[in-house]
Structure 1
């Protein structure tokens, strides 16, 4: 997000690492004005996008799907990683296309909205669960500073950074709005330092330890 001389803020987005230039942009007056879900905006000149379902079929306006991009700004691939390049960069109707892995939808205003990552969807008891949505619900509660929801084996776990003594209250507020299969089976209050990060500063979910079954009443069932 970059502030221009006019005082407006321009958000320029390139999903993952697909493009040498930006894929979509939108303009706003400041960070306080950014809506939720986050706006990606509209494709820049020379770029085209598709939103498709799991079977590569276009989804109707307003429906959620994976963002695909094409255009002259598309990168050649991942340097030194031909296998990843082959998986992410494909051919469609004689044109190279990038599978972003980003879940988006077209808004009624004709702009794209970012809803999360396809690789953050999991299936539990045959049902699709959006981990990003669970994290958002937890983070909205008073006293919660951060939250990470992840799978440990076949168990859904929640690690939250929060004020002391709020875990039971958070669970009591969050769980009634969730289907039984969506409810984390284990909860744990953690220090920020206990949430591992990658070299890029993102949460390293593969390194997150599963909360223990029970410890001093801090974690749930």
Structure 2
């Protein structure tokens, strides 16, 4: 599904992406982990065609996102790290707007998702809590049962119960529709539960990858500490 070769995007020294090589198999859930400013969101924006690389190649299901982002978006769902919705619209009207723009979107599935996340979408978005807005964004990203789903901190603002509901949704999309998922998250438990493979990014570079075994959160935690922990100066 995803093939990245020698990807580079330099904003400043150690800021951007540098020599990224990455493969994500069809139907796989791949987790990206790294501290703030490591280059995770920059990589996502390049994968989706929002930012043009300085050099290197990206292919998503044999599509170059820089050349043909429109074709990519026909089978892709995306939740950004900073959710921005139309505040003066009700949740229902916003969902219907997105539904009208998405190819193969399923309104019956939208109604199931509203029940799944226990959300009343009749109020204006600007009056919704952060968690409710996040649920709306998740529904928008998944209403077309996408072949490729890109999630940047997708459970930000969700309580533990809704985080589990999110996990259930990802598992269903994979089981029933073969969805390939790329997820950036600071929640190690979430990554351990959902991901087949994890990549660690530091200073814009992919420094290590490993396969997650038996949903082992300790495995991820130990590697993160080894790769990123700095000596305290206090």
Shorter-chain TM-score tier: under 0.3
Higher RCO structure (Cα 8 Å, ≥6 apart)? 2
TM-score by length of 1: 0.26
**Structure 2-normalised TM-score?**
0.25
Hey, which of these two has a bigger chunk of strand by percent?
A: 1
Which protein is bigger by CA-based radius of gyration? 1
